[in-house]
A and B are shown apart, each in its own frame.
Chain A
Amino acid sequence: MAASQTSDAFVEFDRVQKSYDGETLVVKDLNLTMPKGEFLTMLGPSGSGKTTCLMMLAGFETATHGDIRLGGKSINNIPPHKRGIGMVFQNYALFPHMTIEENLSFPLEVRNIGKSDREAKVKRALEMVEMGNFGKRRPAQLSGGQQQRIALARALVFEPELVLMDEPLGALDKQLREKMQFEITNLAHSLGITVVYVTHDQTEALTMSDRVAVFDDGVIQQLDTPDKLYEEPMNSFVAQFIGENNTLEGVVKEIRNGVALVQLDDGELIDCNPVNVSKAGERTRVSIRPERVEFNKARLQEGAHTLKAEVLEFIYMGDIFRTRLRVAGNDEFVVKTRNAPDQKRLQPGEHIEIGWLPEDCRALDA
């Protein structure tokens, strides 16, 4: 194998597999390449193998098969303390018997950095996370958000090029979490470090990352930029997992000119974008984002297929209206409309016709 497949590859997972018990694969054939300075998030449901990947990268678990490379060099046989990777743990793992300053100077001490140098770096790191006055306290005397910042400062104080974060914001309330999301991304970009971030909060993943790797069942389902991931999910798992999504099931009738004609289970026909289907006769799940559904006839394309729908519920949410419909036997079909002056407010019981642009309606795997 070549030392580097792409010249700017900084972190590489090359056909990595991992099994804990020799019976099941927790990570199946993982391939991932990250350039320097990228903020990449691993997103996925619980138990999908995110932490395992992080642990293999940090050196606390060994890959059962495959190669992990850092800066072009294989790190399979390098012990964790020589990898020089900063890590923020989910529970912060601040050493409870040390003050904040001692916590921060620990990685510098084990690197035999001189005392004055150490103090300067600790001070700078504390100021970077705006915690300059807390150096003498113990971790237990800090709030959750403050501890989180210290954990971040400690992972950064020895100036690693790669920082791993395993659900670092999991324990914080919503407001603080949003603030910290912003601070972490800012810090990462201004320092130019490469970050692998783990979360199962999709909003967090979308707002923070350069790219997101969606995990399920030990496999990366899709690795893409946040907007691509949301607008162009490549399979039904990703479509379901990221954002809100309407699904309709059916069979492909024909594919012509890049448009698939799908017959839904109740017999209606719709035009779709054939993403994950290749030939007529295949079963498919059709995915449409709630905000791409249109019921204003004037805005629909000439000759587009439409479906009959019955309004079940109308929820006023301030900035948007969320309307639940029954479409083709599906009671959970949701339409979101912006609260604009000319926007129509649908009434429960009303019968309407809905449609969409064929490219917004993606025919995915069943």
Chain B
Amino acid sequence: MSDATANQSLTTADGIPLKAALARAEARARRRAFLLVLPLLAFILITFVTPIAQMLHQSVYNEGFTMHTDVITGERTPIMTNVKEWFDENPVGTEPDEEAYAALAEDIRKLREVRAAGSAGTRINYERSGTRSMFTKANRSITGLEPPYKEAFIELDEEWGAPDLWQVMRDASTPYTVNFYLAAIDLKKSPDGGFEGVPDNRKVYVNLFQRTLFLSVLITFLTFVLGYPIAHLLATLPLRQSNLLMILVLLPFWTSLLVRTTSWIVLLQSEGVLNDALVGAGLLGDENRLPMMYNQIGTVVAMTHILLPFMVLPLYSVMRPINPSYVRAARSLGATSWTAFWRIYFPQTIPGIGAGALLVFILSVGYYITPALVGGSSGQLISNLIAFHMQNSLNWSLAAALAALLLGGVLILYWLYDRLVGIDNLKLG
């Protein structure tokens, strides 16, 4: 109350209330500032926000079983409408009756007309393998199919009578679904509508997430252990020598990733330089050469090497400006060189450690090319599987769901980091 009266008494020279005048002046400045950042905003929106939004949408939306888009004309035709109708009329768990199979036959005729049996079958195939061929087969034989359709379909392929197939079709008949997320954490819907784990032999993703997390932590730790002394050396050497060393650190950036990865193959493979040397020196029998390539060791070694600069550079940029007189002061105050390091030097480098670790960790969580080349089967990371679903199985929705989970995980870690260390403590350069 008293505030308001106080404000009323404050006016500018020509009688406009001070607050209004201030707001107007600030609004103008804000508008101008906004115009300046507009191009950047548009760029970020187009290149960053949109794809991520699209990916997130794709992970819960797949219209492979509800809509067909003609590749050439771009014309969109709804498909599987009759089955959808039957699903709407009958609750979950209803045994499919003759009416259902008739609707299916009608829909498959429509699929044949627009040549969409393959893509519709693929959508069902994502969740139940072997179904795509059932659809293409039905597509071929539909003209000869006579009522009663139930028997006819089961004659065609016994699987058409399986209740969980109908459950999958029911789910797929609405484009919005969480099934891809379930699949991404090794779960699926049971016929009664609950969740259940996929069979043990098909559990891949949780395992892979765990492995990705573990290897990323390991790689981050290794880059820190290797990078800290290097960065310290760089920061304390005279400028001329440190520039030379810096070139060596940056050299990896200037050579092709493929070349570097290949050279690791040459070094580490079982017929490679290192094994040959060990065998030649008699340290190792010829028959038990160490497997260091096409497994996790290969992935860890190559990625540690490749990501090392991302640890060294933030550390260096934090260490360089640390005045040597801090450590000297600590020493003159009676600290041993270890105490001076641990109590005085190290705490001042924490922002660099945080930045480097975050950078390396986030990069390695999403790393793709190196594990693909040197990882074998045990050294693959989650990104490799995402790439597989993008390029080979063409299950984009699953790829999107996996990627979204990865994104979520990284964001959670980022949040945790902020709570524990504080983002404003981060120093990248």
Which chain A residues have a beta carbon within 8 Å of chain B's beta carbons? 58-60, 79-87, 89-91, 93, 95-97, 106-107, 110-111, 154-155, 158
Least CB distance, A165 to chain B, in whole angstroms? 12
Please measure, in the bound complex, the distance between the C-alpha atom of A84 and the C-alpha atom of B330, giving whole angstroms: 12
Please measure, in the bound complex, the distance between the C-alpha atom of A106 and the C-alpha atom of B348, giving whole angstroms: 16
- Asked if B40 is at the interface of the complex by the 8 Å CB criterion, the answer is no
**A81 & B329 in contact (Cβ 8 Å cutoff):** no
- Asked if B334 is at the interface of the complex by the 8 Å CB criterion, the answer is yes
Least CB distance, A156 to chain B, in whole angstroms? 11
A154: chain B residues within 8 A (beta carbon) = 333
**A110 & B333 in contact (Cβ 8 Å cutoff):** yes
A81: chain B residues within 8 A (beta carbon) = 331-337, 340
Which chain B residues have a beta carbon within 8 Å of chain A's beta carbons? 323, 325-326, 328-337, 339-340, 343-344, 347-348
**B330 & A106 in contact (Cβ 8 Å cutoff):** yes
Between-chain CB contacts (< 8 Å), 30 pairs: A58-B328, A59-B331, A59-B332, A60-B328, A80-B328, A80-B331, A81-B331, A81-B332, A81-B333, A81-B335, A81-B336, A81-B337, A83-B332, A84-B334, A87-B329, A87-B333, A91-B323, A93-B323, A93-B325, A93-B326, A95-B326, A106-B335, A106-B343, A107-B333, A107-B334, A110-B333, A110-B335, A110-B336, A111-B334, A158-B334
A83: chain B residues within 8 A (beta carbon) = 332
Please measure, in the bound complex, the distance between the C-alpha atom of A58 and the C-alpha atom of B333, giving whole angstroms: 10
**B348 & A97 in contact (Cβ 8 Å cutoff):** yes
A58: chain B residues within 8 A (beta carbon) = 328, 332
Q: Is the interface of B mostly helix, strand, loop or mixed?
A: helix
Please measure, in the bound complex, the distance between the C-alpha atom of A93 and the C-alpha atom of B347, giving whole angstroms: 15
Least CB distance, A95 to chain B, in whole angstroms? 6
Having A58-B332, A91-B323, one finds 9 other A-B pairs with CB under 8 Å, namely A58-B328, A81-B334, A81-B336, A84-B334, A86-B333, A89-B325, A93-B329, A107-B334, A107-B335
A97: chain B residues within 8 A (beta carbon) = 347-348
A107: chain B residues within 8 A (beta carbon) = 333-335
**A86 & B332 in contact (Cβ 8 Å cutoff):** yes
B333: chain A residues within 8 A (beta carbon) = 81, 86-87, 106-107, 110, 154-155, 158
B347: chain A residues within 8 A (beta carbon) = 97
- Highest count of chain A CB atoms <10 Å: which of B330, B332, B348: B332
Least CB distance, A86 to chain B, in whole angstroms? 7
Least CB distance, B335 to chain A, in whole angstroms? 5
Please measure, in the bound complex, the distance between the C-alpha atom of A60 and the C-alpha atom of B340, giving whole angstroms: 14
A82: chain B residues within 8 A (beta carbon) = 334
B344: chain A residues within 8 A (beta carbon) = 95
**B326 & A87 in contact (Cβ 8 Å cutoff):** no
Least CB distance, A106 to chain B, in whole angstroms? 6
Least CB distance, A100 to chain B, in whole angstroms? 14
* Cβ-closest chain A residue relative to B326: A93
B325: chain A residues within 8 A (beta carbon) = 89-91, 93
**A89 & B329 in contact (Cβ 8 Å cutoff):** yes
* Cβ-closest chain B residue relative to A97: B347
Please measure, in the bound complex, the distance between the C-alpha atom of A111 and the C-alpha atom of B343, giving whole angstroms: 14
Least CB distance, A152 to chain B, in whole angstroms? 13
B328: chain A residues within 8 A (beta carbon) = 58, 60, 80, 87, 89, 93
Least CB distance, A180 to chain B, in whole angstroms? 19
